[in-house]
Structure 1
Amino acid sequence: MRSQILLALLPALGTEAIRIIHANDDGWAELYTRSFHDALVAAGHDTVLTAPAENKSGTASSDAEPSPRTTACQYDSCPANTNQPIGRNESSPRLNWVNSFPVTSMRYGIDTIAPPFWNGQAPELAVSGPNVGSNVYVQVHFSGTVGAAVFAAKERKVPAIAFSGLSSGTLAWNTTPAPTRSLVYAQVASKLVDAVVSSGKPYLPEDVFLNINLPKVEGKCTDPHNFKFVLSRINVGLFSAKDVYHCGTDRLPLEASVALSDDCLVSVSVGDANDKTTAPKEKQDIVLDKLRRLFTCLP
């Protein structure tokens, strides 16, 4: 199985290579993030990782200037007493840490760290995660993974996607062999990125982010080919306006019910970057039109 997954990480033919800024809230040396970074690079994308020096889960949209680092980074991934606010892997300089929050990492990545790699150009897409654990419903408002994506979409007008995986358990970047869950999440997340890129610019409506929750990697869901994508919503829609009409209804399923099913279903919610709730129907409609071939209906 692991060899099949690794083969699937090879570049996808016909996919346009773009500039991607990548952050998370679990730390720059977290394995889920590194596996995803590797998958994006394998797909041909020019990806720069800028993430916190240590785990900063649950810090929402906090943003503060990075301070000099005196202790070792997460998993001893940088030495103690660097006395620097930011740093990088010298042998792989597209891997960068920022001694602050996820939003700060995304901000520094977009404004300072990534442009030199791209001749001063801006990122074309921002991704965050995959988070270790879910980010559904009320979790969305506290998630640093989501916060980083929302910052990119709202403050820098970069289309953004936040990924989270329900299989939990933090792991160091150099864990060998990499567990199936990390490799599967990397491939499935990369597949969604390629679908968004293939849909053409503008990749997403303005002030919108996609909130993605990947189900647990277990049983039949250890095969990435069994994963299917379902258009969903973040918050309960009891008093909300109608959603886009899809799968015979104008009320999309809650992302929590999708991702927690036993059918290898990935929830894809169109989020409003202004308040981290579900985006209005007209913006859902644009995303559905662009990604219609990707989506399936609930069983």
Structure 2
Amino acid sequence: MRSSVLLGAVLPFAQAIRIVQSNDDGWAEINARTFFNSLSAAGHDIILSAPAENQSGKGSSDADPTTVDSDGCEFSSCPGGSPATGSNATDPRLNYVNSFPVTSMKNGIDVTAPALWSGETPELAVTGPNVGSNVGIQAPFSGTIGAAVHAAHTAKIPALAFSGVSGDPTAWDQATPIHSKVYADLALNLTSTIIDSGAPYLPDDVFLNVNFAEVTDTTCNDASQFKFILTRINTGILSDKDVEWCGSTRLPWEVDVVFLRGQCYASVSVGDANDKTTADATSQEAVLEKLKPLLTCL
């Protein structure tokens, strides 16, 4: 089955829900803002709660927010000496937290969301798309994954972590790079598929680790060119069997799919939110049933 369900075909059928978004590259980074705009345009109630500065590689670190230092937020998005938490002057859905990604996600779920949604909390959490991949041994150290794991494990909110190979940290007010557009389209495509599958969106204590291959001006420069592949986070040489899919009980390794295949692939790994490793076959099967409209075989 062709994996690339076209964006225009997905949006009219997506149920609008409450979504909290974070990342580890900072609240003003253009990947996150582009995805935020896509989710908003699709009709979702979306809030962004992300670090005031780039906090890549901080994993599951968590600490109380502090007053912004004299340098201000990243890309001059808030002045030095700003409060420990704050929002965009014209859009209260855009929020910074001067701390780690996990802290930002916590603040979004526990403070910002109820304040903006009359006491309601998020139904889904998304992170990223991260600037750079988060596959294999990168997973334990990723703040993008750390924030998603907090949502899934501690807050019991289903969570999707998105990352893309291409790009460098870019300010929200610059021209949108092609990779940001493609990654936002792909992330919205998968998010819509999960939402359309119905609640519960994911099994308990499960998150999805989704990585998009390289995008250039001439290759993989449109979401319709991508194929979604069900993968695993760790290689699984000594692990129990995976869900049976594509004629095998061993799913491909996400590192192999994203970096070694040389094609327009998106890896989708079902992660265990207890330890950031690959979830068991039962959880994989539940996700497989939801994502079959998107997935294809290598």
Query: Which residue of structure 2 aligns with residue 273 of structure 1?
Result: 273
Query: Which residue of structure 2 aligns with residue 207 of structure 1?
Result: 205
Query: Which residue of structure 1 aligns with residue 3 of structure 2?
Result: none
State the alpha-carbon separation in 2 of the partners of residues 258 and 288 from structure 1.
17
Instruction: Output the TM-score relative to the length of structure 1.
Output: 0.95
Q: How many positions carry a matched residue from both structures?
A: 290
Residue 9 of structure 1 deviates from its aligned partner by: 7.6
State the alpha-carbon separation in 1 of the partners of residues 206 and 154 from structure 2.
11
Assess, with a 3 A threshold, how the Cα gap between structure 1 residues 265 and 11 changes in structure 2: closer, same or farther. closer
Query: Which residue of structure 1 aligns with residue 134 of structure 2?
Result: 135
For 2:131, the aligned partner's letter is V
Assess, with a 3 A threshold, how the Cα gap between structure 1 residues 39 and 9 changes in structure 2: closer, same or farther. farther
Conserved in 2, the CA contact under 8 Å of 1:11 and 1:43?
no
Instruction: Tell whether 2:162 aligns with 1:163.
Output: yes
State the alpha-carbon separation in 2 of the partners of residues 99 and 191 from structure 1.
31
Instruction: Output the TM-score relative to the length of structure 2.
Output: 0.95
Query: Which residue of structure 1 aligns with residue 104 of structure 2?
Result: 105
Find the residue that maps to 1:222 and give its secondary structure. Answer: coil
Query: Which residue of structure 1 aligns with residue 264 of structure 2?
Result: 264
Find the residue that maps to 1:12 and give its secondary structure. Answer: helix
Residue 236 of structure 1 deviates from its aligned partner by: 1.1
Q: Which structure 2 residues correspond to residues 42-53 of structure 1 after superposition, within 5 A?
A: 42-53=41-52
State the alpha-carbon separation in 2 of the partners of residues 48 and 104 from structure 1.
15
Q: Which structure 2 residues correspond to residues 117-136 of structure 1 after superposition, within 5 A?
A: 117-136=116-135
Q: Which moved more, 1:212-221 or 1:30-39?
A: 212-221
Q: Which runs of 4+ in 1 moved over 2 A?
A: 7-11
State the alpha-carbon separation in 2 of the partners of residues 266 and 256 from structure 1.
11
Identity fraction in percent? 54
For 1:120, the aligned partner's letter is G
State the alpha-carbon separation in 1 of the partners of residues 50 and 151 from structure 2.
13
Unpaired runs of at least 5, structure 2: 1-5
Query: Which residue of structure 2 aligns with residue 252 of structure 1?
Result: 251
Assess, with a 3 A threshold, how the Cα gap between structure 1 residues 9 and 93 changes in structure 2: closer, same or farther. farther
Residue 85 of structure 1 deviates from its aligned partner by: 0.9
Assess, with a 3 A threshold, how the Cα gap between structure 1 residues 156 and 237 changes in structure 2: closer, same or farther. same
For 2:23, the aligned partner's letter is N
Query: Which residue of structure 2 aligns with residue 19 of structure 1?
Result: 18
Query: Which residue of structure 1 aligns with residue 76 of structure 2?
Result: 76
For 1:171, the aligned partner's letter is T
Conserved in 2, the CA contact under 8 Å of 1:230 and 1:268?
yes
Assess, with a 3 A threshold, how the Cα gap between structure 1 residues 111 and 9 changes in structure 2: closer, same or farther. farther
Conserved in 2, the CA contact under 8 Å of 1:130 and 1:165?
yes
Task: Say which structure, 1 or 2, has more relative contact order (CA 8 Å, 6+ apart).
Answer: 2
Q: Which moved more, 1:116-125 or 1:230-239?
A: 116-125
Conserved in 1, the CA contact under 8 Å of 2:132 and 2:167?
yes
Deviation digits for residues 61-86 of structure 1 (CA, Å, limit 9, x no counterpart): 0000001113310000001122x110
Find the residue that maps to 1:78 and give its secondary structure. Answer: coil
State the alpha-carbon separation in 2 of the partners of residues 45 and 209 from structure 1.
20
State the alpha-carbon separation in 2 of the partners of residues 81 and 202 from structure 1.
42
Conserved in 1, the CA contact under 8 Å of 2:230 and 2:269?
yes
For 2:183, the aligned partner's letter is Y
Query: Which residue of structure 2 aligns with residue 65 of structure 1?
Result: 64
Unpaired runs of at least 5, structure 1: 1-6
State the alpha-carbon separation in 2 of the partners of residues 15 and 33 from structure 1.
20
State the alpha-carbon separation in 1 of the partners of residues 8 and 110 from structure 2.
29
Q: Which structure 2 residues correspond to residues 229-248 of structure 1 after superposition, within 5 A?
A: 229-248=228-247
Residue 220 of structure 1 deviates from its aligned partner by: 3.4
Find the residue that maps to 2:151 and give its secondary structure. Answer: helix
State the alpha-carbon separation in 1 of the partners of residues 10 and 28 from structure 2.
23
Partner of residue 192 from structure 2, selected from 194, 205, 214: 194
Query: Which residue of structure 1 aligns with residue 35 of structure 2?
Result: 36
State the alpha-carbon separation in 1 of the partners of residues 10 and 34 from structure 2.
14
State the alpha-carbon separation in 2 of the partners of residues 237 and 282 from structure 1.
16
State the alpha-carbon separation in 2 of the partners of residues 240 and 8 from structure 1.
36
Conserved in 1, the CA contact under 8 Å of 2:167 and 2:179?
no
